[in-house]
Amino acid sequence: MTARPAGGAALIFRTPLPWLAGLLTLYLLVPILAYAIRVADTPVSALAAPGLGSALVVSVETASISTVIIAVLGIPLGYLLSRGRGRTSTVIGVAVQLPLALPPLMSGILLIYLVGPYTFLGQVFHGALTDTRIGIVLAQTFVAAPFLIVAARSAFATLDPALDDVAATLGHGRWSRFARVAAPAATPGIAAGLLLAWLRAFGEFGATVVLAYHPYSVPVFTYVQFGGTGITSTLTAVGASLGAAAVVLLLAAYLPRLRRRHPVPDPLPEPSAPSSSASPRLTFDLAGRLGTFQVEVAHTTTTGRHLAILGASGSGKSLTLRMLAGLIRPTAGQVCLDSADVTSVAPEDRGFGYVPQDAALLPHLPVWHQVMFGVGTEPGLAAHWIRRLGLTGLESRLPSQLSGGQRRRVAIASALARNPRLLLLDEPFTGLDAPVRDELRHELRRLQRDTAITTVIVTHDPVEAALLADEVLILDFGRVAQGGPQPAVFAHPASPTAARLLGIRNLHVGQRAGHRELVAGRVRISFAASALPAGTALDAELTWCIRPENLRLDDPVEENADGHPGTVNDVVSLGAVDEVLVALDGGPELTAQTPAGDHPEPGARCRLTLPPASVIVWPGRNIPTPAGDSPGRQRTTDFTMPDLYDLSSTPPPR
């Protein structure tokens, strides 16, 4: 039996990747080895190259000047191109890459058309734009700039747009967001582009030989030596070029270790509690658009300080929150705090805190500097929120060294450290493990209770809305399906859509069979007399629901007892409570909620009682579409159970 190779040898035998990579590496290194052998066999006297030193100085000097010019102009251009989405941005992006596709000789000829001695610019500068160091810089900049522009554009394009949004709500203007957020976060890509630009400028020959034959740069000097006395006279020039390039590459590899440090004060400043001024009342009536999607949402009467915007994915929740933050300009309407219109106020001037879905922390800043990043943030207040949110001891860690829950805590602390008038949270607990999510929810609830801050939280989870809101606004396809005080909304959903989004599992259709009765299959179900609008026909189709916790499940008794007979199909244990799926004889399947273990076993017969006051009825046959179905499509099967969120108990009053 043949033993399998271990370690790196096993990798070579399992995949062709090392062979393919090795072939290219060999091809790139062998010419350098051949050069070294040739130099070793050449007499020292033949390696003399008068004038090489001045040519090397010219190349290093002009390549460095070109790179500085490219950096100053190209980094902003790459940033703007990465954010452009229109036709103009596309055309400019293609145009600035054309020098990459042109032979360098053609690039030099193009420049002659612009700065040659007989052009307008050439005459204005008395021919100083050609056959001078200026001409070399012009040629190098033209051919090398696209390398930086492409790299910078790609680096900026990969940044999370939420970084810019968060920085805006932390008080940073456009220039500050570019200089302190985008550029540092894109530094690795920018550095790679600058390195490529310098190396390309240093080695430029075609455009240089056309535009500035004199003074000699290293490539032109080497070309002249080769044409005059043969290949042996180029050995020293080639060696000098290899050495200069190697030095620059080594510096580029080492410089990242010298990146700016962000020391954390030790000890931290003494914590100071946030101000306890009265929280403002938020009202808004907004219309907005994102592509073809439109939102019209209003919240014009308020009785509480904490609002939850509840809806499925794609309902317009985040768009609404971004309009409230000022990050997207509404097409109509206004946002008011205590009757003061802030619609036209820039996001950096609103004084709002904003926490996006994925925390959006700056990758190069440790926790302390993340929390202190807001304009005007007081160190004492930052220290307070670091302690309050359980971040003590993590002040020196970078975001990559934090867990998901810790990153969310840092994001919340950063928003709170400016003592904002309003805190906006966009599904801040999405993607977290259940224990971490539950811990953060309750921490935010305690924060709401202990401070005077007004909050708006976007969520698709009705439990989250019940826990963190006094008022609830339910959105569906960009429109308000229901709004009002949280207990009233949860107790009396205004439509089947609202019921689905509130997590009511038992949502079915039937037909009215009397003043206070409906029929679902062969089962007659009583409901409250006031549940239907006046004028609803006795045989009208209805949609109805009942919460699982409002159903009463009993063992089977005599036939004339209260309740509807059925069979237990399934039991799901949820710890303190169980969910029991019961198929009524001749009727729908309903989910009942019982104390743990207090129910018949699967397959057993039982009775299910539906209190009439707990049955909610709407006119029409309208089971909302679960997530994943086509927009506008509705289920019409009588006894299907949509895949909905469940609210395990009646929401606590606020």
Which one of 2.102.10.10, 3.20.20.140, 2.40.50.140, 1.10.8.50 gives the CATH number of domain 502-619? 2.40.50.140
Residues forming a β-bridge with 472: 308, 484
Residues forming a β-bridge with 524: 519
| Confidence (pLDDT) at 558 | 60
Structure tokens of 406? 């810790």
Q: How many CA atoms lie within 13 A of 458 on its CB side?
A: 25
User: What angle (nearest 5°) sits at the alpha carbon of residue 88, between those of residues 87 and 92?
Assistant: 120
Q: Read off the pLDDT of residues 216-253 as tens digits, 9 standing for 90 and up.
A: 999 999 999 888 888 888 888 899 899 988 998 888 88
Torsion sign (Cα): 502, 506, 507, 513? negative
Name the nearest CA neighbour of 598 among 573, 635, 567, 628.
573
Q: Where are the domains of the chain?
A: 46-258, 282-487, 502-619
| Confidence (pLDDT) at 324 | 94
Ramachandran class of 512: left when φ > 0, alpha when ψ lies in -120 to 50, beta otherwise? beta
Looking at domain 46-258, its CATH class is mainly alpha
Looking at domain 282-487, its CATH class is alpha beta
Please tell me if the domain spanning 46-258 has the same topology as the one spanning 282-487: no
User: What angle (nearest 5°) sits at the alpha carbon of residue 448, between those of residues 444 and 452?
Assistant: 145
| Confidence (pLDDT) at 184 | 92
| Confidence (pLDDT) at 641 | 31
What residues of the chain score a pLDDT lower than 50?
1-2, 627-654
User: 621: which residues sit within 8 A by CB, 6+ positions away?
Assistant: 509, 541, 542, 543, 636
Give the neighbor-by-neighbor strand order of the sheet with 589-595. 552-554, 605-609, 564-573, 577-584, 589-595
Residues forming a β-bridge with 509: 543
Give the whole-angstrom CA distance, residue 483 versus residue 345: 26
CA 323 to chain centre: 17
What is the pTM assigned to this prediction? 0.81
C-beta atoms surrounding 256 within 10 Å:
10
Structure tokens of 279? 């929280």
- The full DSSP string for 384-437 is HHHHHTT-TT-TT--GGGS-HHHHHHHHHHHHHTT--SEEEEESTTTT--HHHH
8 A C-beta contact, residue 624 and residue 500: yes
